[in-house]
Amino acid sequence: MLVAIIAAFVIILDQVSKYLVRELIEMGHKVDVIPWFVNFTHTENKGAAWGIFADDRWVFLVFSSVAIVALTVFVIKVYRRSRVLNVGIAMVLGGGIGNMIDRIILGQVTDFMYFTFFDFPVFNVADSFVCIGAVIIGVYVIFIDPKIEKRLKASAQDAPKDDGEAQ
């Protein structure tokens, strides 16, 4: 349930923000949000970051579909394992679905957030959540999961053994 709520929130936030950008900012124009730091620049991207694979839309549709199905199956199978892991997965799912909606309906993704203090591709809310979710999943896998596994093994070794004989 938590995963579905977070993913739905991400999808709605992403789609509303992209809709507002398409309606309020002309293509290619920029609006300073925090001068010399970040602005909103309306762009459309048929590819990935920096426009790579722009002519291969099918690659993103296939990859996104497989990733969304795989993450959904994973959540269904192990959703009780960790709330932290579920939050990360929900963010990635919501962001992936948000960008997939654009690719299916518009044939491209609306991007608008641009950091002016360093050269980084223009991105959107879905991209942000995919990246943050991936970091959360990475932190979980590297730092949290090994501790949980160690604790589970220790508690399994400490548990009384049932050798099948009645006392």
Among residues 64, 125, 63, 122, which one has the least CA distance to residue 93? 64
CA distance 110 to 15: 9
Residue with tokens 């929130």, as numbered in its chain: 9
- 127 in active site: yes
Those residues with Cβ within 8 angstroms of residue 20's Cβ, 6 or more apart along the chain or in another chain: none
- 32 in active site: no
Structure tokens at 9: 């929130």
Active-site position among 32, 56, 102, 111:
111
Active-site position among 14, 55, 119, 127:
127
Active-site residue numbers? 111, 127
